[in-house]
Amino acid sequence: MILTVTLNTALDITYRVGALRPHTSHRVSDVTERPGGKGVNVARVLAALGHETTVTGFVGGATGAVVRERLAETTGVREALLPVAGATRRTIAVVDELTGDTTQLNEPGPQIAPAEWGAFLDHYEELLVGASAVALCGSLPPGVPVGAYAGLVKAARAAAVPVLLDTSGEPLRRGVAARPDLVKPNADELAELTGSHDPSRATQDARRRGARAVVASLGPQGLLALTPEGCWRALPPTREHGNPTGAGDATVAALLSAQVEQLPWPTRLTRAAALSAATVRSPAAGEFDHGTYERLLGQVTVTGVSSVA
């Protein structure tokens, strides 16, 4: 079982409009609602890849009830969310059908009380038993300590469960220091962590700060991986237009599934780049077309890099 942690779960709502123009009214052509938050998206992709997955985090209020109901309908995903007094947030994605671009609006999430956080720590340690890997994903809701991910990384390591961290800002900085097996920042998150806008130097710095391996998502420039086994770049075939909301989450799912399957790094990166591109083409985060994914697998280029200095 793969465990995904989404402390700031959400109900993802996607609107499609013919063309998005500021200061005007829009007629929405299509609306979709999905359980969301980065770890939830990761779990859906993992389930579609054939991996048994458990989702945990916080959930509350009427929005949270919808999230739980929808997750119960998701094949291959077991819901183990912890109820809290506050209401689960919503995220709004507005897709411009003319350009293919997406505008994202994210609510902050519920206030988590100290007792609720303490209850989650106990819940998390119970779920680690029997887990083959764990993904710690996304933002922290108000009230959760900024060093929360560092503590969750340490708990996973103590339980001998491989742990992937995908967050940003101060939670990422503190989490990296706890020595996760893998971190997956995007270019902006990596630059904020290290102070360098050169991805090659920044990935080296991120490893020095504690991460065992670093896979940086660089948008159209693909992926850059620095690992104990070597360094690689993975380039997608073309720039994809569509909904990029879940592209990074698909990358996490691909890397985690390939780690559990003990695949070599070039194969992991090929899967990650192809799956990320296939997810962009999907109308909703956490979904992809298997035919598109299989076709893109043969179009990804992975090359070894002798040095990232």
Tell me if 268 sits within 8 A of 257, measured CB to CB. no
Nearest of 51, 37, 48, 41 to residue 6 by alpha carbon: 37
State the catalytic residues: 249
Alpha-carbon distance of 252 to 276, in angstroms, equals: 9
> What is the per-residue DSSP string for 154-193?
HHHHHTT--EEEE--HHHHHHHHHT--SEE--BHHHHHHH
What radius of gyration, in Å, describes the C-alpha atoms of the chain?
18
CA distances from 83 to 65, 73, 109, 112 (A): 10, 19, 13, 10
Alpha-carbon distance of 291 to 85, in angstroms, equals: 42
Alpha-carbon distance of 15 to 105, in angstroms, equals: 11
Nearest of 94, 87, 93 to residue 109 by alpha carbon: 87
